[in-house]
Amino acid sequence: MSEYAVVDPTTGETVQSYPTITDVGLDDAVAGAQQTFSGWSQITTVAERAALISKVADLHVERRDALAAIIAREMGKPLGDSLGEVDFSADIYRYYADNASEFLADEPIELLGGEGSAIVRKSALGVLLGIMPWNFPYYQVARFAGPNLIIGNPVLLKHAPQCPESAAAIEQMFTDAGFPTGAYTNIYATNDQIATIIGNPIIQGVSLTGSERAGAAVAEVAGRHLKKVVLELGGSDPFILLSTDDLDATIEAAVMARLDNCGQACNAAKRFIVIDELYDEFVEKFTAAALNTPVGSPTDPDTVIGPLSSLAAADRLSQQVDAAVAAGATIVTTGERSGAFFPPAVLTEVDRNNPAYHEELFGPVAMIHRVTSEAEAIELANDTPFGLGSYLYTTDPEQAERVADAIQAGMVYVNIVGADSPELPFGGVKRSGSGRELGRWGADEFVNKKLIRVG
């Protein structure tokens, strides 16, 4: 039975199944990518490859409605969010197409002594493997494939088993843009097959976005074979509120930061850490706003929260929430879960002994903590195995700089949410992974930084 299938989380209906690639087919895909690296990657210029990526951006714009409908069907993303993801993906491709020549230009080195010159020249490493998740089917691929194909690294892309239709649509866009066979190859592979090809000498690096468990498994295999990895894993991002001159606007931002993509974003705000004097009013207003967020079919234009991505995802979140309440947490919610639809909920009184304290809740459930000082807020924010993103609201610029420096995370957003952009690096520390995507940093992970010293 195929592992790859479109199962509409709204209805539970299996729309279509896709056959898993055979071992022979996978070997052929790896060999084909290597052949493309030995040929096309070596004879084309950065500008020529960037022009093809620009066409991929154009195709996202031309096909945005059809692409958005696919992921609304595959993983329940509301149509407005789906269209926004397609547009953002196009922006990422275009950003790299427009800036690749600058990012990949030779870098001269000023010599301390001796005659001659020295430069660092960035060149392709070879065939890369991308392992992508279901929560942002187009965006996750864009930030990996865009810069690396311009660099000249052919890409083998294993998408999430529940995203086979969007995976095929992405591959088709690369083909229609004019990329040769072997430059970008979609593979419906099993986890065992992936573990095998990571060990293949042709594969030069692996990029994975997904769970801690998946990241650890891939890193273990890649480490045995001395392969470079970039890992973007989970997060339990803090939203720290120390002061505000507009609490209603801050709460609106907080709700957006928690419920975007139905709360299924690694860098969503998940733990709200609120100074004592604002806590009671924040809890009251945040809870009212979160629980009144429109829930419905992903295809309804008024829907903000659709179903979770799958029945399994809803089961997992239910178990976590039930365990949190059993351990003493207080919950406020609008009703009971129905299939993959999970009602928004707010948890308070979550102490350090509660299992939810150190977990990532992937869905429309927020945890709110009370603190009495800046120092306590920082301590609580950092008391997590994760370190992806974070949000800080304060009216004191000096405090903003001080707290931002103290937060142990890869990203800190001060007095703003929803500000991701192609030029800004994305990635984390601790168990949230390693490496960076987006910005010039995303074009610097899988390159040979070759020194050329001339006497």
* Residue 232 among the catalytic residues: yes
- The sign of the CA dihedral 306, 310, 313, 314 is positive
Q: Which of 266, 374, 437, 445 is catalytic?
A: 266
Q: Which residue is listed with tokens 């990996």? A: 144
Using alpha carbons, list the distances in angstroms from residue 379 to 283, 374, 400, 406. Answer: 21, 9, 15, 9
Residues 6+ apart with CB under 8 A from 99: 440
Q: Are 409 and 237 in contact (CB under 8 A)?
A: yes
Using alpha carbons, list the distances in angstroms from residue 310 to 6, 75, 333. Answer: 10, 7, 20
Q: Which of 85, 165, 171, 232 is catalytic?
A: 232
Q: Taking the mean position of all CA atoms in its chain, how far away is CA 265?
A: 7
Q: Is 155 exposed, middle or buried (0-12, 13-18, 19+ CB in 10 A)?
A: buried
Amino acid at 294: P
Cα Rg of the chain (Å, integer): 23
- Known catalytic residues are 232, 266
